């Protein structure tokens, strides 16, 4: 994460206070400037599964591979294994679908090779002046409210659960404290509650994605879990929200980068904010100052985020997002080994800028 610079002319104790408070808002007239950070990058990434088939007997493999996208920039891809595939669109997302069967011993890669040029996406006004109110949403955007405020579940579990009594009670308490019906400000207040009360923590062992109610109970979760809980909180107030899946890059000083599977959220606040009313929210950030967290991660999708799947609010969408590669092996000696991979090459920082948060609660890159 970015670190703050500036305010160094003050006495030490004041520097510490300003660091924790985010500088602006605590002392009117102050702005906050963060260290320069890559805001425009390019790289190549290959992702998918390595398949190793050995022994005797037939096997069948099914893999639905998401295609890449970025908020600002471009992502062009080619298919790694040009056999037994077709393009599909499901739940408003595009996929490459492989259905493979065979009986030979072989190794190959199922997935995509992608060239990405990406820029950081930023909602400049943290005051939410252009956002709609909760009361206006159903009248101005009825279809979006219907699709993105409901419960989402697979056959057994409600993962996004705006009807959960505890989640609803917390959301209403946050709204009462915030004293506003502005959707942007409410979403920001719910984000602050999440970051104050729930800790980012990866799962022990190989546990799957947690439903929102369990994450609330444990007060911890990984990127999927925190996103599902945050979306549930927003939806319980009638604010549309959805999850996004993809990859998050980490770049190193030696010019290399790595990518890990990642998930985050989007909230619909209407008006002219964000992308057609949708604003990105990074729920899995680890910063001790809530104000800093808001400034860097609420309404921000930096260039290191690569999208591959965006929720359409349906149970089918949730199931597709949670599904991966599957196979069936026939024969005692037939073995199929699957290994997920995401490899980044040719990483370059094209532009680095400082995030500046002004005293009027607006922000920009410079």
Assess contact for 262 and 246: CB atoms under 8 A.
yes
Q: What angle do CA 286, 321, 250 make, to 5 degrees?
A: 35
| pLDDT (0 to 100) of residue 177 | 97
* 281: its two tokens: 């929210």
| pLDDT (0 to 100) of residue 202 | 87
CA torsion angle for 48, 51, 57, 59 (degrees, to 10)? 0
| pLDDT (0 to 100) of residue 331 | 80
Assess contact for 161 and 232: CB atoms under 8 A.
yes
| pLDDT (0 to 100) of residue 245 | 97
> What distance separates the 2 farthest-apart alpha carbons in the chain?
74
**How far, in whole angstroms, is CA 214 from its chain's centroid?**
19
The Cα 341–Cα 217 span in angstroms is 32
pTM metric for this prediction: 0.90
The Cα 182–Cα 82 span in angstroms is 50
Nearest CA-CA partner of 99 in 337, 325, 358: 325
The DSSP string of 1-15 is ---EE--TTS-HHHH
Rounded to 5 degrees, what are φ and ψ at 253?
A: -65, -20
| pLDDT (0 to 100) of residue 332 | 82
| pLDDT (0 to 100) of residue 206 | 62
| pLDDT (0 to 100) of residue 29 | 56
| pLDDT (0 to 100) of residue 288 | 77
* 142: its two tokens: 């009825």
| pLDDT (0 to 100) of residue 1 | 38
Nearest CA-CA partner of 102 in 53, 64, 48: 53
The residues of the chain scoring below 70 in pLDDT are 1-29, 204-206
DSSP lists the bridge partners of residue 103 as: none
| pLDDT (0 to 100) of residue 94 | 96
Q: What is the pLDDT of residues 357-366, one digit of tens each?
A: 999 999 999 9
Assess contact for 221 and 210: CB atoms under 8 A.
yes
Q: What is the pLDDT of residues 281-323, one digit of tens each?
A: 999 987 779 999 999 999 999 999 999 999 999 999 999 998 8
What interhelical angle do 290-297 and 183-197 show, nearest 10? 130
The Cα 190–Cα 311 span in angstroms is 20
* 91: its two tokens: 């739940």
DSSP lists the bridge partners of residue 253 as: none
């Amino acid at each position: 994460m970015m670190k703050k610079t500036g305010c160094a002319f003050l006495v030490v104790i004041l520097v510490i206070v300003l660091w924790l408070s985010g500088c602006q808002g605590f002392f009117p007239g102050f702005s906050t400037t963060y260290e320069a950070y890559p805001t425009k990058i390019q790289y190549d990434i290959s992702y998918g599964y390595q398949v190793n088939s050995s022994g005797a007997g037939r096997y069948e493999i099914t893999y639905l591979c998401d295609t890449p996208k970025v908020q600002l920039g471009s992502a062009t891809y080619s298919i790694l294994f040009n056999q037994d595939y077709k393009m599909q669109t499901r739940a408003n997302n595009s996929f490459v679908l492989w259905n493979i069967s065979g009986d030979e011993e072989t190794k190959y890669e199922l997935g995509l090779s992608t060239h990405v040029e990406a820029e950081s996406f930023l909602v400049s006004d943290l005051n939410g002046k252009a956002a709609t109110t909760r009361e206006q949403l159903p009248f101005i955007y009825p279809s979006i409210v219907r699709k993105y405020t409901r419960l989402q579940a697979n056959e057994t579990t409600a993962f996004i659960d705006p009807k959960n009594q505890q989640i609803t009670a917390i959301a209403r308490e946050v709204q009462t404290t915030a004293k506003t019906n502005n959707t942007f400000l409410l979403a920001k207040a719910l984000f602050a509650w999440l970051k104050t009360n729930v800790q980012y923590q990866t799962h022990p062992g190989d546990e799957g994605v947690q439903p929102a109610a369990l994450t609330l109970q444990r007060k911890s979760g990984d990127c999927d879990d925190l996103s599902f809980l945050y979306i549930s909180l927003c939806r319980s107030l009638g604010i549309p929200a959805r999850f996004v899946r993809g990859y998050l890059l980490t770049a190193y000083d030696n010019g290399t980068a790595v990518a890990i599977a990642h998930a985050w959220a989007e909230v619909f606040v209407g008006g002219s904010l964000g992308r057609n009313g949708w604003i990105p929210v990074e729920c899995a950030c680890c910063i001790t100052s809530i104000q800093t967290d808001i400034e860097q991660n609420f309404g921000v999708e930096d260039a290191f985020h690569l999208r591959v799947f965006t929720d359409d609010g349906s149970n089918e969408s949730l199931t597709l997002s949670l599904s991966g590669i599957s196979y069936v092996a026939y024969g005692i000696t037939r073995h199929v080994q699957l290994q997920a991979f995401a490899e980044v090459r040719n990483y370059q920082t094209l532009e680095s800028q400082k995030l500046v948060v002004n005293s009027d609660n607006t922000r920009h890159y410079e």
